Chains A and B, each alone.
Chain A
Amino acid sequence: MQLATDDASRVDSPEDVSLLRRSRWTDWWLTVMHDKKALAGLVILAVFVFMGLFAPLIAPYDPNDMEYEMLAPPSRSHLLGTDDLGRDLLSRIIHGTRISFFIGFTTVALALVSGVFLGLTAGYYGGWRDHLIMRYIDLQWAFPNFIIAVYMVAVFGTGIFNLTIAISLAYVDDFARLARGMVLTIKQEPYVMAARAMGASNTRIMGTYVLPNATAPLIVQATVSVSYAILAEAALSFLGLGVESTTPTWGLILAEGRSFISRAWWVGVFPGLAIMLTVLSINFLGDALRDFMDVRETQDLM
């Protein structure tokens, strides 16, 4: 009794009141600023996003103008050289950022959200939901992701919208399986039982107790998948199942450059570098995000 009244004086000081409220985003931003690799990743991605958004303003030439020297090496007039049809490579790569980034991030976001939803439902509730969802996932697991994407495009037709749906569907099973595995472990934890004992709803338990503890491997999977998605788009476009061949995308330029790699290395190398830089940046940021989420790991090691 004494304790409770004694505390009343301490409670209302402004310092204490703010304790529950410091935003996660402030923390996250501080983490990124302290992590050099994450900062580099953030800067590179920002540059690419800027390039994509303002492509027509930045690109020195029209990406589909074929009036220049064919397969010209990098020079002052064409910084990254030209391709086999005499199109300026730098302009094509700048314009390609749009499609590649869109496909890369949208497909993974879609696959992540739907996969986690399926995996969470299956793992948390179990029973018939688990059987139903996981048998479908098994079915999809039996085919290579790329074959599924090809099949989807073949059924729904080409175009950027269908391409996005097809690639994200192909990656749903990875996320679903991973999420389910994590949920099965986490739902046995005493803190989940404590949440049930306090009367928290299933949605609340899944959202605030189970999911936040399952994020680390999902983030890693997501960063890897972004690179795969960019490459999948490239492969599909190469097969004529993606975007039109006149639309510049990194994958498409890379695929075309493949044939001249011995004569004109720049056509294949520069879009490849762009993909590599993107993937690397995403991985750096992903690592920082994972470390940030997994508070224990970073602090215990120190």
Chain B
Amino acid sequence: MQRLLEYESGCGLAGGWFMNGDTAAMVKKAGPGEDGPLLEVRGLKKYFPVTEGIIRRRIISQVKAVDGISFTIETGETMGLVGESGCGKTTTGLCILKLETPTAGTVLFRGEDLSTLNTRQMVPWRRKLQVIFQDPFSSLNPRMKVGRIIVDPIRVHRLIPDNHKQEARVAELLGLCGLSPGMADRYPHEMSGGQRQRVGIARALATNPEFIVCDEAVSALDVSIQAQIINLLEDLRDQLGITYLFISHDLSVVRHLCQRVAVMYLGRIVEMTTTEKLFKDPLHPYTRILLAAIPIPDPDIEAQRDFTPAQGEIPSPMAAPSGCVFHPRCPLAVAGCSRERPPLRELRPGHHVACTQVELNPIS
């Protein structure tokens, strides 16, 4: 930690307008109670146009991948974002990182509105926001040796001018991620999936980020490797005070790693609360069905369990249902659900739910 911070203070940021430039102090201050959340997403929307015609493009409809979601992440917190495939969780992550341009809404990082920045203005912030991708096979440049992959972000931001120090830093990052410094001379294809994912993590850490989006960061790995990577992410969180947005469809992983969880369905957040409350006392009917689908690793209990899967198929995001997007599949749905979009309300302290019926139908 001390070594990491040394590098940080040794190299001021180009432009120098980044807060007070002293990130070391910020990391130390990190923790709940600091003024304002680290990240605040307000009314984020991302619509992908569906076009038709070759000469004159016409927009015939829109895929509402993310449809007006809001949440905040405190410094040092790990926020889970769960949902089934196609619910917009990855798009949300990409919009926060400005790898996709949001259709509407704001992303505030330390109070600065990232969504209004142009590519060049965004560069200093990119140092603070990093990403770990799902597929460890395609997320590393196959033509670069591991050392080069990890040193590239350092060179982009001119964090360490001296070549020898760069190499030392690469070795340090590799060590931090549980790899030996000798790995720097390997190509990604010479490594296993778990090792590659560690390289991906080392690359994300290279610029000393404050916030990392883990986009299904362990989904492509074997279960035994998953556990190692999750432990690594946890260690890094504790050592470096990194805040994560952990995007996953794997509820057990989220339960283990995250302090708070937001459940997404068809581009909207349907429930958001602490991990404990969500797993113990889920309120939204979708969350209940989702949790009930987690297999229990005991055949006897599993066999006795009464599990009713959600009726029907997940609707196409091109033609999302009116009102509450979940109403066609919802066991609690009444006529009103198809008319009005339920807002995300704080039903209980720290427990937000987007459902109008849940108070009238308490679960036993």
Contacts and interface: CB of A to CB of B under 8 A. Distances in A.
B364 interface: no
B138 A11 contact: no
B47 interface: no
A212 B141 CA distance: 9
B54 interface: no
Interface string B127-147: 101110111001111111101
Nearest to B175: A7
B143 A200 contact: no
Contact of B99 (A3, A193, A293): A193
B313 to A, nearest CB: 28
B119 to A, nearest CB: 8
Majority secondary structure of chain B interface residues (helix, strand, loop or mixed):
helix
Nearest to A197: B131
A11 B173 CA distance: 10
Interface stretch (B30-38, B149-157, B245-253, B285-293): B149-157
A4 interface: yes
A103 B181 CA distance: 48
A67 interface: no
Given A3-B175, A189-B138, A199-B122, A20 B170 contact: yes
B185 A199 contact: no
Interface stretch (B72-80, B108-116, B161-169, B329-337): B161-169
B207 A198 contact: yes
Interface in A178-219: 189-191, 193-201, 204, 208-209, 212-213
A17 B164 contact: yes
A262 interface: no
Given A19-B185, A198-B153, A199-B122, 18 more contacts: A1-B2, A3-B176, A4-B2, A8-B3, A16-B167, A16-B184, A20-B147, A20-B148, A20-B151, A190-B134, A191-B141, A193-B133, A195-B152, A199-B123, A200-B153, A208-B144, A209-B141, A295-B143
A204 B176 CA distance: 27
20 contacts: A1-B1, A1-B2, A4-B239, A7-B172, A7-B176, A17-B167, A19-B147, A19-B185, A20-B148, A20-B167, A21-B167, A191-B138, A194-B200, A195-B141, A197-B97, A197-B99, A198-B206, A199-B123, A295-B189, A299-B190
B133 A194 contact: yes
Contacts of B344: none
A7 B130 CA distance: 24
Given A20-B148, A208-B152, A4 B175 contact: yes
Interface residues of A, number: 39
A296 B131 CA distance: 25
B351 interface: no
Contacts of A19: 147, 167, 181-182, 184-185
Majority secondary structure of chain A interface residues (helix, strand, loop or mixed):
helix
A190 B135 contact: yes
Given A191-B139, A212-B143, A10 B171 contact: yes
Most buried by B among A196, A204, A293: A196
A199 B156 contact: yes
A195 to B, nearest CB: 7
B142 A295 contact: yes
Contacts of B260: none
B4 interface: yes
Contact of A20 (B142, B143, B157, B166): B166
A192 B279 CA distance: 37
A132 to B, nearest CB: 16
A199 B129 CA distance: 10
B285 to A, nearest CB: 35
